[in-house]
Amino acid sequence: MTVSKRTRLGVAAGRLAGALSRTLTRGQGATISGRVINKIAPNALEELADGQRVTLVSATNGKTTTTRFLATALTTAGRTVTTNSTGANLTSGIAPTLAGAAGPGDAVLEVDERVLPRVIDPLGAELLVLGNLSRDQLDRYGEVHAVSESWRTTMQSHPGVAVIANASDPHVVWAATPGKVTWVALGLGWRSDAATCPECGALLTWSTDRFDCPKCGFAQPATDNILDGDTLVLDGARIPLDLALPGRWNLANAALAVTAAAHLGIDPVHAATSLKTVTSVAGRYMHVPLGDGRSARVLLAKNPAGWTEVLRFLHRRDTAVVIAVNARVADGKDPSWLWDVPYELLRGHETAAAGDRRLDVAVRLRYAEVDHEIERDPVAAARELEGDEVHIVASYTQFSALYRKYGDTT
């Protein structure tokens, strides 16, 4: 791998600009960092990706965990893997990740869903792993259809790129169809962003296990690859997914990762077995000590689709729940999505509202008739709740603050 001085300089300057931006403006620093890299070294990504077989993972939810699963499966099989393990998924995060590569091998990169179309060519991506698309940060990113359209346009101009895609998500199906796709049906979760057909605008009809457009014939693609409970059926083999991470959504992430690993030449059974070693992903599922002998487990939920999955998991458990919500730039400045989430499921749980927007959360809980405490700091809020098990479910910047402070403890 030959990396020019210009590229090294660009990456270093980009990092510096990002750090300055974070210090001076409390911004995330990622945008400016990416711009600086592009300005100084417009070919940085091409150069850095030289010698790497690049797989890109994108989705609204689950991309960081899916990336970690896939990287784990490849590493366990003895591959040399470069991966952005902390969820730095913009150009600004990808360039330094590649600059730190140990050598030629597999690069497994999580990519922001809006950035994906821009980096496929410079990175020479050979495989795309596409999970799901739903509403997220509408003030910043716009509505879902715009994202699936940009993906579809990209696939149309890249018919040779291999794709592993979720057959159960209409937006993903529509976007991926022009590509060379291996489908895997992960099951139907959140459907509120796919009422109408992405192709023709007619109403989609939904049954328990598939969607169809009665007008233009757009439908869930047929595939024998399906997630069946905690088993992945792949090319006729039944592969048990025994994970350390909780929730149905992680089974879906795992199914996608194992399918991708198989495409990259790894035995899917070995790949699946390796996933049990993943216990925490860039702070997701980490435990934060409460100082009274208890600890709280941290979950990231940043939009209604993610929250709906998390609630399905929490409401069956005897757990106290802290809902920690900010509405800063990286969260989306409009927390009205709180009203798309069935918080009514938390009735009977010890519950607290935390974060900058704790009052928005508290009003939502009042209308859901869920008794709650109100406390800005999520850890202090967790301490106020009774019970042996406590979960802090945090929006993105709340989560990042906890991760910075407590790091990975598991």
Partner 1 sequence: MSAVRDSAVRIGLIYPELLGTYGDRGNAIVLVQRTRWRGIPAELVEVDAGEPIPDSLDVYIFGGGEDDPMEMAGAGMRESKASIERAHANGAVVLAVCGGYQLIGHRYIAADGEILEGIGLVDVETRAGSPRLIGELVASPNDDVNWGEFGPPRALTGFENHGGRTTLGEGVAPLGKVLAGGGNGDGSKTEGVLAERIIGTYLHGPVLARNAELADRIIAWVAGSIPPLEATLEQSLRADRLDAAMVRGVHRWWRDRMLARG
Binding site for partner 1 (CB under 8 A): 135, 138-139, 143-145, 191-193, 195-198, 201-203, 333-334, 336-340, 359-360, 362-364, 366-369
Nearer of residues 14 and 306 to partner 1, judged by Cβ: 306
Classify residue 342 by burial, with Cβ atoms within 10 Å: 0-12, 13-18, 19+.
middle
How many CB atoms are located within 10 Å of the residue 24 CB?
Answer: 9
Backbone conformation region of residue 97, classed left if phi is above 0, alpha if psi is from -120 to 50, else beta: alpha
Classify residue 252 by burial, with Cβ atoms within 10 Å: 0-12, 13-18, 19+.
buried
Q: Residue 56 is inside which H or E element, if any?
A: strand 52-58
| CB of residue 353 to partner 1, shortest distance in Å | 10
| CB of residue 329 to partner 1, shortest distance in Å | 12
| CB of residue 216 to partner 1, shortest distance in Å | 12
- Reduce the DSSP state of residue 342 to 3 states and report it: coil
Nearer of residues 1 and 146 to partner 1, judged by Cβ: 146
Length of the chain: 410
Nearer of residues 47 and 193 to partner 1, judged by Cβ: 193
DSSP state letter for 337: G
| CB of residue 360 to partner 1, shortest distance in Å | 6
| CB of residue 260 to partner 1, shortest distance in Å | 30
Tokens (6 digits) for 363:
């009003």
Nearer of residues 209 and 344 to partner 1, judged by Cβ: 344
Nearer of residues 290 and 374 to partner 1, judged by Cβ: 374
DSSP string, 243-289: -SS-SHHHHHHHHHHHHHHHHTT--HHHHHHHGGG---BTTBT-EEE
Tokens (6 digits) for 257:
């990762």
| CB of residue 1 to partner 1, shortest distance in Å | 42
Nearer of residues 313 and 339 to partner 1, judged by Cβ: 339
| CB of residue 375 to partner 1, shortest distance in Å | 14
What does each C-alpha distance from 68 to 234, 261, 293 come to in angstroms? Answer: 20, 12, 30
Tokens (6 digits) for 124:
């020479």
Nearer of residues 284 and 372 to partner 1, judged by Cβ: 372
